[in-house]
Structure 1
């Protein structure tokens, strides 16, 4: 195969700098948070159940 990224599901330009990668990651995380907020507004019951499940996981988590 001509490129070594085949089968990994994504392609990263070889000349991408660390700052560009961080900027792209920050944008992705912002969009992900925005999508979660939208989903929580549209499905409040599911969001409440998810919060309760998360709280239960945190209470039973062993440090």
Structure 2
């Protein structure tokens, strides 16, 4: 699968620093979206947190 930022003939090589930078940006945006969702839909967000806690309680290592 070719990278969107590179021409189709170019190798899809990227440095670890670039990958980590993009991953950090993605995680920041994901966190921001979760916080916004909690503010907009507090009841649904609370229910989702409860479901996640229940999942973690019943998970076996």
TM-score higher than 0.5 here?
Answer: yes
Q: Quote the residue 1:19 is aligned against.
A: 17
* Aligned pairs, number: 55
Q: Quote the residue 1:55 is aligned against.
A: 53
Gapped regions of structure 2 (runs ≥ 5): 7-11
Higher relative contact order (CA 8 A, sep 6+): 2
TM-score (norm 1): 0.77
What RMSD over aligned residues (CA atoms) do the two structures have, in Å? Answer: 1.6
Question: Which of 15-24 and 30-39 deviates more?
Answer: 15-24
Any idea what SS the aligned residue of 2:26 has?
helix
